[in-house]
Chains A and B, each alone.
Chain A
Amino acid sequence: MLEMILFASIKVIVVVIAVLTGCAYSTLLERKVVGHMQHRMGPNTAGPYGLLTPLADGLKLIFKEEIRPANVEKITYLLAPVISFVPAVLTFAVIPFGKDNTFFGKDFTFVLSDLNVGVLFVFAVTSLGIYGIVLAGWSSGSKYSMMGAVRSSAQMISYEVGYGLSIVGVIIIANTLSLRELVELQMGPLWGTITFLPNWYIFSQPLGFILFLTCVIAETNRAPFDMPEAESELVAGYHTEYSSMKFSMFFIAEYANMIAVSSVGATLFLGGWHGPFLDSMPMLSVLYFVIKVFLFMFFYIWLRATFPRFRYDQLMALGWKVLFPLALFNTLITAFFVIL
Chain B
Amino acid sequence: MSNTAKTVTLNMGPQHPSTHGVLRVILELDGETVVKAEPVLGYLHTGIEKTMESKLYYKALPCTDRMDYLAPMSNNLGFSLAVEKLMEIDIPEKVQWVRVCLAELTRINSHLVWLGTHALDLGAMSMLLYAFRDRESIVEMYEACGGQRMMTTYIRIGGLAQDIPKDFEKGIRNIIKVINNGLNDYETLLTNNEIFINRTKGVGVLTAEEAISLSLSGPMLRGSGVKHDLRKANPYTGYENFDFEVPVGQNGDAYDRYTIRVEEIRQSLKIMQQAIDGMPEGPYRAHVPGIVLPPKEDVLYKMESMIFHFKLITEGFKTPVGSVYQGIESGKGEIGFFISGDGTNKPHRVRVRTPSFINLAALPKMCEGNMFSDVVCAIGSIDIVLGEVDR
Contact = CB atoms under 8 A, between A and B. Distances in A.
Interface size grouping (class) on chain A: 20 to 34
Contact of A232 (B129, B190, B196, B376): B376
B229 interface: no
Contacts of A9: none
Contacts of B44: none
A337 interface: no
Given A305-B125, A311-B371, 15 more contacts: A37-B126, A39-B129, A39-B133, A143-B10, A147-B372, A232-B120, A233-B18, A307-B124, A308-B190, A308-B193, A309-B123, A309-B199, A310-B199, A311-B373, A312-B372
B65 to A, nearest CB: 28
Interface in B102-135: 119-126, 129-130, 133
Contact of A309 (B8, B126, B195, B374): B195
A210 B41 CA distance: 47
Contact of B195 (A143, A147, A307): A307
Nearest to A40: B129
A311 B198 contact: yes
10 contacts: A39-B133, A143-B10, A224-B195, A226-B123, A231-B17, A232-B17, A305-B126, A307-B195, A308-B196, A309-B373
A293 interface: no
Interface string A231-265: 11101000000000000000000000000000000
A318 to B, nearest CB: 9
A230 interface: yes
Contacts of B375: 233
Contacts of B130: 38-39
Contact of B371 (A39, A40, A232, A312): A312
Nearest to A309: B123
Contacts of A305: 125-126
Contacts of A313: 32, 371
A65 B32 CA distance: 33
B373 A312 contact: yes
Interface size grouping (class) on chain B: 20 to 34
A40 B196 CA distance: 24
B26 to A, nearest CB: 12
A121 B126 CA distance: 37
Interface of B: 8, 10, 16-18, 32, 119-126, 129-130, 133, 189-190, 193, 195-196, 198-199, 371-376
B198 A310 contact: yes
B189 A306 contact: yes
A224 B119 CA distance: 13
Interface string A29-44: 0000010011110000
Contacts of A39: 129-130, 133
A314 B198 contact: yes
A38 B195 contact: no
A154 to B, nearest CB: 10
Specify the main secondary structure of chain B where it touches its partner. Answer: helix
A29 B193 CA distance: 26
Interface in A307-329: 307-314
Nearest to A143: B10
Contacts of B125: 34, 38, 304-305
Interface string A152-187: 000000000000000000000000000000000000
A235 B17 contact: yes
Contacts of A233: 18, 372-373, 375-376
A37 B185 CA distance: 12
A226 B375 CA distance: 17
Contacts of A151: 32
A230 B17 CA distance: 10
Given A232-B17, A233-B372, A233-B373, A309 B129 contact: no
A312 B122 CA distance: 12
A216 interface: no
Most buried by B among A40, A305, A308, A311: A308
Given A38-B130, A306-B126, A310-B198, A232 B10 contact: no
Given A224-B195, A233-B18, A233-B376, A309 B133 contact: no
A223 interface: yes
A226 B17 CA distance: 16
Nearest to A304: B125
B178 to A, nearest CB: 13
Listed from nearest, the 10 A-B pairs whose CB atoms lie closest are A309-B123, A38-B129, A232-B18, A308-B124, A308-B122, A308-B123, A232-B121, A311-B373, A308-B195, A305-B126
Contacts of A40: 129
Contacts of B133: 39
A34 B128 CA distance: 13
A183 to B, nearest CB: 35
A83 B17 CA distance: 28
Given A235-B16, A311-B199, A311-B373, A143 B8 contact: yes
A338 to B, nearest CB: 34
Nearest to B194: A307
Contacts of A224: 123, 195
Contacts of B376: 232-233
Contact of A307 (B17, B120, B121, B123): B123
A224 B122 CA distance: 10
B88 to A, nearest CB: 49
Contacts of A143: 8, 10
B346 to A, nearest CB: 43
A147 B12 CA distance: 13
Interface string A59-75: 00000000000000000
A307 B188 CA distance: 11
B11 to A, nearest CB: 8
A38 B120 CA distance: 13
Interface string A191-225: 00000000000000000000000000000000110
Nearest to A313: B371
A166 B386 CA distance: 48
A310 B129 contact: no
Most buried by A among B18, B123, B371: B123
Nearest to A311: B373
A238 to B, nearest CB: 15
Most buried by B among A39, A230, A307: A307
